[in-house]
Amino acid sequence: MRQPSLPTIKLLFSRSAGLCNICGQSVLEKDVVIGDMAHVIAHSPDGPRGLRGQSGDNSYENLILLCLKDHRIVDRKKDLYPAEMLLEKKRCFEENIKKRIQFDFEYDQDLTSLNNLFIYIPIKKFYGMVSDLPFKISINFDAAGIFQDYFKDDPTFYPFRDSKLTNYWDNLLYDMHKIDELVKGYFSGDKFITLEERMKPKKAPDDMTVIHCTYINEGGFMYMNKSVFNRNQRDFLESEMTKLVNIFLENYHCFIKYIHEQYRTVKW
């Protein structure tokens, strides 16, 4: 009986990653093949799962990669292993290999992206940077700018292949944006105006207090100069900022926890 063609052998071994389609053991030991390309329909009509008047060929469709032990079992207990079942096992096994390779590839890409991101963004220090708001904030509390400049438009980086990771990251950026909006906002009397609203082309009120200009830079932190604000303004800032920081910290902890669980080898 002729051997399967070289393309058929390549196809069979590569799609199964060199593993037995039943037990998953490798059929290769160093450079020796210790498994078989078993026939689903035997070459001889009298062989396992043989068909009268027909002989199974050496095509990829009629072969399944098995270890020696499983080859012996399926051929001896042929009633327990009909052709349809073997073909289904092969289909599922090859499908799983494909999914696994795809998953590993995407996982590695996300891991590389996170490692690169954390070179620029000191994510683990974020908690200490904002936990004393509105009275104190680190001048390094920034992810959006760095992300925008280096990563956002790079399709190999973002969105992450893991949609959950993308979701956590987007939430974090949004929360940081809201905090930034408040710090860079204005008061006109007791009315709060965001930077965005301030930039709209209309006459600015005369009595503007710019919030971020009231912070004093010292040792990497900006300290709020409380004396600039009246009681109502201070109350507003404190309550709004507390709300935003709490939301941020909640999402921040979710993000950190998710990375701890899913990307254990990340460098940060």
Residue in 11, 10, 60, 65 with CA at minimum distance from that of residue 37: 65
What is the smallest separation between the CB atom of 162 and Zn ion, expressed in angstroms? 33
Residue nearer to Zn ion on the CB measure, 67 or 224: 67
Residue nearer to Zn ion on the CB measure, 67 or 121: 67
- Both tokens assigned to 239: 């309550």
Distances (CA, A) of 216 to 54, 137, 187, 188, 259: 89, 10, 18, 21, 35
Report the first-to-last Cα separation within the chain, whole angstroms. 59
What is the smallest separation between the CB atom of 38 and Zn ion, expressed in angstroms? 10
Residue 115: what residue type? N
Judged by CB under 5 A, does residue 129 bind Zn ion? no
Q: How far apart are CA 242 and CA 248, in angstroms?
A: 10
Residue nearer to Zn ion on the CB measure, 70 or 162: 70
Judged by CB under 5 A, does residue 22 bind Zn ion? yes
Half-sphere exposure at residue 52, Cβ-oriented, CA atoms within 13 angstroms: 0
Question: Judged by CB under 5 A, which of 23, 101, 213, 216 binds Zn ion?
Answer: 23
Strands 186-188, 35-39: pairing kind? unpaired
- Please compute Rg for the chain using Cα positions: 32
What is the smallest separation between the CB atom of 67 and Zn ion, expressed in angstroms? 3
Residue nearer to Zn ion on the CB measure, 28 or 195: 28
- Residues 67-96 vs Zn ion: string with x where CB under 5 A? x--x--------------------------
Judged by CB under 5 A, does residue 110 bind Zn ion? no
What is the smallest separation between the CB atom of 72 and Zn ion, expressed in angstroms? 10
Please report, as ranges, the residues that interact with Zn ion according to CB under 5 A.
20, 22-23, 67, 70
